Amino acid sequence: MRTIDESTGGQGDAATSEDRAGTGPRRTAAPRSTATRGLAPSEAGRSAPAPAPRSGRPGRAARAGMPTLHLSGGASSGLVPAPRPSVPAQASTGVAELLRGPLRQGTVLLSAPTALYVTVPTPSGPEVVGVLTSDAARLPLGCILFRPSNGRPLVSAPSGAPAVVGGGRLVVGDLTVSAAAWWDPRPKLPTARPALLPEGVRELRAALYGEGVPHSAFVLPGLAGGPSGPLAALRGAVRRADLDAALRTATRLIGEGPGLTPVGDDVLAGTTAGLVLLGHPAAERFASGVTGLAAGRTTELSRALLRHAAAGRVTGEYAAVLRAMVGDGPLVPAIRALLSSGSTSGRALALGLCTAIDLVERTGRPR
């Protein structure tokens, strides 16, 4: 049994680290036949005495009478490897239960320079957690690193690669991310049914649609335009103050458009979250209808984001615009950041927020 003195890092042991690692001078054992050479016949049959224990100088803790750490086994057993260094991140409280829970096996959905997404099976269904660089869109299921993408902080992992999530960490290959801080993706608003600043609403609409441009001319890549398209149907439902018609339009938007988060889903996520956060009385029914439609009709990442939207958890850019429209923070830079997030997602989320504002004004306020 070897004794490692924690106070000296094991240096009180007579064997050096080079001996244990095999990098020091090799000691050649004497041939077995020499063990009895020169002995009398009566002595040759006796076993050689056991070697005396090494008299390595004890460390300071041992000399002071403090307990030391004993490791069994020979040099081949070595020390238990130190925990892998982790990369700190600011994690969304929307995935706190998943991160803090027991260790679960997951698989990589997508790895890119700015984001890595992992899907994890849970008793309530698959969940998705993302690791995002500081310059990526701040998704409500993300662990945000304190480094931008140009530093290449993320590993490149193929889809389907194994991952482990739980115990406060996410591990993919050589990357270990730990939750060093938390952020809340549900914006803090003054009341359950906050009143928005009229000039803030006008500013958002002007930035989204353009000055003097009719709303009917607004299009999003990946969605059919014209009077028969889903956006025209959504506008018609808003004009008639018909929330049920807006929900029926969701069947034409779910899964429409390319990418991991189709643009039609982003419109619905913005609408759903807006209704929830602005306190529309039918928000829960609308959210339940949208998330129910998403099953089997869109991507796993998009379904996860729609579930977060149903709980009022949104991107950091969306939350900043909504807070600014109740007087908490500058509005113009917040709108600019939202519209420029993602290739089309930011504009689609903004359209959803405008749709929710219109529906609240027309169908949710007492007349």
pLDDT digits (tens, 9 = 90+) for 284-323: 999 999 999 998 899 999 999 999 999 999 999 999 999 9
Is residue 35 domain-resident?
no
Tell me: do 144 and 243 sit in the same domain.
no
Tell me: do 223 and 178 sit in the same domain.
no
- Nearest CA among 268, 301, 318, 260 for reference residue 141: 301
User: How sure is the predictor about 59, in pLDDT bands with cuts at 50, 70 and 90?
Assistant: low
Of the three residues 125, 150, 183, the one that is the final residue of a domain is: 183
Lowest model confidence (mean pLDDT) among 122-126, 340-344, 361-365? 361-365
User: CB of 104 within 8 A of CB of 165?
Assistant: yes
Is residue 129 domain-resident?
yes
For the chain, the maximum distance between any two Cα atoms, rounded to a whole number of angstroms, is 117
The pTM score is 0.76
**Beta strands 87-92 and 175-183: pairing type?**
parallel
Tell which wins on pLDDT, 84 or 213: 213
User: How sure is the predictor about 5, in pLDDT bands with cuts at 50, 70 and 90?
Assistant: very low
Tell me: do 239 and 302 sit in the same domain.
yes
CA 223 to chain centre: 29
Tell me: do 212 and 260 sit in the same domain.
yes
- Asked whether residue 166 carries a pLDDT value surpassing 70, the answer given is yes
**For residue 211, what are the CA distances in angstroms to 86, 206, 208, 218?**
49, 5, 9, 12
Q: How many domains does the chain fold into?
A: 3
Tell me: do 256 and 217 sit in the same domain.
yes
- E-strand ranges in the chain read 2-4, 69-71, 87-92, 104-111, 115-120, 127-132, 142-145, 162-166, 169-172, 175-183
User: CB of 110 within 8 A of CB of 116?
Assistant: yes
Is residue 190 domain-resident?
no
User: CB of 296 within 8 A of CB of 332?
Assistant: no
User: CB of 144 within 8 A of CB of 89?
Assistant: yes
CA 178 to chain centre: 10
User: Which residues lie across from 263 on neighbouring strands?
Assistant: none
C-alpha 143/C-alpha 150 separation (Å) is 17
- Nearest CA among 25, 64, 20 for reference residue 10: 20
User: How sure is the predictor about 31, in pLDDT bands with cuts at 50, 70 and 90?
Assistant: very low
